[in-house]
Structure 1
Amino acid sequence: MKPPAFNRFVRLLAELAVLLALYKVGGVLAAWLAWPIPGGVIGLALLLLLFAAGVLKPAMLQLGAGVLMAEMLLFFIPALMSLLDYGSLLRDEGWRILLVIGVSTLLVMVVTAVTVEWVCRWRLRHDA
């Protein structure tokens, strides 16, 4: 009998492999179709399609996604370090950059809230 830690590790590797494969397929599709959309975004769209079609359930990728989310800060370190090269740009245009970040964040939050509200109301109508 295999220890539970081994089973958890194998499951984690399998889930991470699925997420990496979707990312890579998205990258290949983006290059092949010559779309101006990053491969990661196309990979997320593929993941959404797999969820919607019932091929994958969110719980099937929960462990791998949880590990990636827990270490998300590491993915932003290169971007933050590159800011050191653009100090003069930040001094001159920093307020505009912050304005764009703030407005876009607010828009994403509003669109997400409206979408969640719409989906909840739709489900309540169809469940009744």
Structure 2
Amino acid sequence: MASRLFHRLAPLLQTFSQVLLLSLVWLAASQLSQRFLPVMPAGVLGMLLVLAGLWSRLLPLTWFKHGARWLLAEMLLFFIPAVVAVVQYPQLVLSSGPRIVLVIALSTVLVMAVTALVVDRCYRLELMLRRRRSNRQAQLKAEVHGA
């Protein structure tokens, strides 16, 4: 009975602890940002710190995977304050609404275009590196069999 309960609660506890860890990283990044880098938002600094930790393999991906997935799945909740602000200030939306919508639309298109270009370039680079590696392996095999 207790074992079954533990197996049911383990994924929830893991997700909660990972969200807590991500929150602690954000809090640390907030303090660093306020003291040393006031021009950089804490969220961006925290993301860079986590990315550096993942790339350097100091932080295993398994420490963040489920928590990050849950946060992304619940992202709509983070936009509720923006909707409340729109409802509370209808005169601002009426006076500046078209400009705001234009900025949102253009920025969305730009982000999507830049993301597509970066993904395309990374994919081409990965293909080039794989071809280069397979060519080297083929040359080594030819040298071994030819010698």
Task: State the TM-score bracket (shorter-chain normalisation).
Answer: 0.7 to 0.9
User: What amino acid is the match of 1:93?
Assistant: S
By how many angstroms is 1:25 displaced? 1.5
User: What amino acid is the match of 1:70?
Assistant: A
1:39 pairs with 2:33: no
By how many angstroms is 1:19 displaced? 0.8
User: What amino acid is the match of 1:92?
Assistant: S
Overall identity of the aligned pairs, in %: 32
User: Which consecutive unaligned segments of at least 5 residues does structure 2 have?
Assistant: 132-147
By how many angstroms is 1:36 displaced? 2.2
More displaced stretch, 48-57 vs 110-119: 48-57
- Alignment partners' CA distance in 1, 2:30 and 2:115: 26
By how many angstroms is 1:6 displaced? 2.7
1:69 pairs with 2:46: no
- Number of corresponding residues: 128
Work out which of the residue numbers 107, 110, 114 in structure 2 matches 1:111.
114
By how many angstroms is 1:34 displaced? 4.1
Measured on the aligned residues, the alpha-carbon RMSD in Å equals 1.8
**CA displacement, residues 42-87 of structure 1 (integer Å, 9 cap, x when unaligned):** 1111122122222234444221112212221111111210112321
> Larger C-alpha radius of gyration, 1 or 2?
2
Please give the TM-score of this superposition, normalised by the length of structure 1: 0.87
Counterpart in the other structure of 1:90: 93
1:127 pairs with 2:141: no
Work out which of the residue numbers 6, 9, 15 in structure 2 matches 1:6.
9
3-state SS of the aligned residue for 2:40?
coil
The structure 1 segments of at least 4 consecutive aligned residues displaced by more than 6 Å after TM superposition are: none
Work out which of the residue numbers 44, 52, 57 in structure 2 matches 1:49.
52
- Alignment partners' CA distance in 2, 1:5 and 1:56: 26
3-state SS of the aligned residue for 1:17?
helix
- Alignment partners' CA distance in 2, 1:94 and 1:71: 27
- Alignment partners' CA distance in 2, 1:70 and 1:35: 30
